[in-house]
Structure 1
Amino acid sequence: MLMVAAIPFGARVAMPKLTDVELYAWIAQAEAGARIEYHCGFLGIDVTPVISTLPEPERRQLADLGQAALGAFEKGLVHLMQERVGPDRFAYIAVARPRPKAAATSLSALLLEERAA
């Protein structure tokens, strides 16, 4: 089971690297307003093959994570935020949104659909 602590606004907390599946699991159990830092760095550069300094497997995992966060945002499940932590360095944060009262599909179905895409 993924255990994630809420991050107070403005706090800098070292977070373990997440996978897209772990982000989905967090979204599924998070209460509205809960926050998770899913990356710290410069996401656009860190996922780009030619300029990223990350090893290829880690770069691909981060790209999948970024796409998962974007997909969850597009489905209205999270807000995405950035906080500047230094020159060319940002904390990328997902904030859980309230669950829709009458959803046409379940949250699990939405997340599985995103994972398959």
Structure 2
Amino acid sequence: MEMIVMPLNEFTPAKARQLTDIEFCAWIGQAMPGDRLEYHRGFLGIDTTAVISTMPEPERRRLGALASAAHRAFEAALVHLVQVRVGPDRFAYLAIARTKPRHAPIPFSQLIATEEAA
């Protein structure tokens, strides 16, 4: 599984096959404090919104699940989330691994995306 891990000042185009929420969680499990992962490049708010995103529906859903997993990891104090402008209306979204908390472990099921049936 190839991951994009880079120093904060290096930005290369995101890989063609995009990261999934499961791959993101796997990266968190093995990341050392300070490791960086670019998990999206674009405009996350627009790219994940159904009525305005130009992404195909499966890609938009994958990205929504990834963004949710990143936010849950942030709330669990596992990563810092950073965005860096790389052009007009274009950002690199980075997760920076934090020191793992010493308290009770966080179950994997809390990190992966779950959607309730509508």
TM-score by length of 1: 0.89
Q: Which of these residues, 103, 108, 112, is aligned with residue 109 of structure 2?
A: 112
Structure 1 unaligned spans of 5+:
none
Q: Is the contact between residue 21 and residue 113 of structure 2 (CA under 8 Å) also seen in structure 1? A: no
Partner of 1:13: 12
Contact 2:21/2:65 (8 A) holds in 1:
yes
State the alpha-carbon separation in 2 of the partners of residues 9 and 116 from structure 1: 26
Secondary structure at the counterpart of residue 62 of structure 1: helix
Gap runs ≥5 in structure 2? none
AA aligned opposite 1:79:
H
In structure 2, relative to structure 1, the CA distance for the partners of 1:9 and 1:114 (3 Å cut) is: closer
Of all paired residues, the percent bearing the same amino acid is 53
The size of the alignment, in residue pairs, is 112
Q: CA distance change for structure 1 residues 33 and 45 in 2, over 3 Å: closer, same or farther?
A: same
The runs of at least 4 consecutive aligned structure 1 residues that moved more than 3 Å come to: none
Do the aligned partners of 2:34 and 2:96 also contact (CA within 8 Å) in 1? yes
More helix by share: 1
Which whole-Å deviations, capped at 9, do the CAs of 1:64-107 have from their partners, x for residues lacking one?
0000000000000000000000000000000000112x3212x4
In structure 1, what is the Cα distance between the partners aligned to 2:109 and 2:9?
32
Pair 1:92-2:89 in alignment: no
| TM-score calculated relative to the size of structure 2 | 0.88
- Is the 8 Å Cα contact of residues 79 and 97 (structure 2) preserved in structure 1? yes
